[in-house]
Amino acid sequence: MPKHRLRTQGLNRALSNRQIQLLSMGGVIGVGLFYGSGVALQLAGPSILLDYAVGGLIVMIMMRALGEMTVEDPLAGSFSRHAERALGPMAGFITGGMWWFFWVSTVMSELSAIGLLIQYWFPHFPPWIPGLIALALFTAANLTTVAVFGEVEFWFAVLKIFAITAFIVVGLSLAIIALSGGGHHQAGFANLWQYHGFFPKGIGGMLQAFSLVILGYSGVETLAVTAGESKDPLESMPQAVSNVSWRILILYLGSIFVMLIAFPWSALVGRHTSPYVLLFARVGVPAAATVINAIIITSGLSSSNTGLYGGSRMLFSMADKSFLPKSVKALSRRKIPKWAVSVTGAFMSVGILLIYLAPGSVYVWISSAASFAALWTWGTILISELLFRRRFPNKLRYPMPGWPILPIIGLVLITGTFLAIAISPLTKVSVWAGALWLVVLVIWWFAYARRHKMESA
């Protein structure tokens, strides 16, 4: 790669290819899949499969577009920098701010879930304490070296993938036993249509669940942010984009499909237990609930770890472009953006206060608030890619196939998702929360960022 394209901005390029791939997968596979999928199943029934298929299609289109731009320009800040070049400085600033807000909100919700899950073993233990301890540990880990961070996240992601794979194998085994006439479990492919049909809650139920499904996919775009600290982005990014997209789609669709055939979807109605816990409890695995509960907590820790990394690197990039005070981009001796990590962790700590004040409701509140920012980011990535081609019409190293049809399809699907979130009683609050944050960003742009950006030009 030509030297003028490999701008590191002072960051340490220490992430290997395997760490990059698992980092992105670890960020997207969190409590939303292990726990939130049960809520989505109750809303839509078997038709949730269509939601996950469409969501996976959006992710694959978005990631392919992001991969095209990242290979040409592997910078920390990634899509916010591309948005700035395609749509102007204000668009770049708002996109970066939205994505930072997404991760701060997501980590808050993950920390709240961790505290509630700890209560499975210790019912009277204050749920805000585990979240505070986890946030402190991850802040310290992110302030050490990026290689240590990458290795920690790699093994977290390995554990989650192992858990999902085991779930798929056990669920399929139950279905096969049921088909052969053995076993006493209500398992089988007939569960897909036997209990009030494939659309038991109608199209409306499927649309309501769709918003939760999309939120569960959010975070995979962290892959592009790691390019600024990748050892060889030209080689690693194309492979990582392809592998991560397919693996996440297979793991998500596979595990949801197994949930639906392993036991009737109606068995989840009125339950607050993870479908993963329910499945292993049904097959009589000793201490299954404890094991799966521990894995779900691990998934929340992993997602929080990735969120602190991604959010801090976006903050660093915004400071580097003079959108924020220059002190935010200060590096430690180990080339870690120490103040970006600290500031991001400090804002995430607000979630600890919310957990203390409303431990039973905060997970749903904050999770829904993150969806607006996630959709904004995905849509901006696709628009930026459409305009990106004007600068590189025939010289791309990793061109997106089916252009411009696929990006346009992706934008249509994202628009439909936004409408589904806006009309869903469960998630429409996210529209108001996202709009309020958008107003804050616009005010900051005109009060500070625009002036300092012009002065640094």
pLDDT, position 231: 57
pLDDT, position 7: 44
pLDDT, position 441: 94
pLDDT, position 6: 40
- CATH 1.10.3720.10 for the 3-456 domain, yes or no: no
**pLDDT averaged per 10 residues in sequence order, the chain, 457 residues:** 43 54 61 71 87 89 87 69 86 89 85 79 85 85 68 74 79 69 64 87 83 77 62 67 75 83 78 71 69 79 79 85 86 83 89 77 70 87 89 77 92 90 75 87 93 75
277-285 long-range Cβ contacts below 8 angstroms, 24+ apart: 279/167, 279/170, 279/171, 279/174, 280/167, 280/170, 282/174, 282/185, 283/170, 283/174, 283/185
pLDDT, position 364: 64
pTM over 0.75: yes
Residue whose token pair is 């990793």: 398
Q: How far apart, in whole angstroms, are the C-alpha atoms of residue 217 and residue 123?
A: 31
Q: How far apart, in whole angstroms, are the C-alpha atoms of residue 86 and residue 66?
A: 13
For the chain, the first-to-last Cα distance in angstroms comes to 26
pLDDT, position 4: 38
pLDDT tens digits, 381-416: 999 999 988 777 677 788 888 888 999 999 999 998
Measured on CA atoms in the order 132, 140, 322, 64, is the torsion positive or negative? negative
Ranges of each domain in the chain: 3-456
Other beta carbons within 10 angstroms of residue 308's beta carbon come to: 23
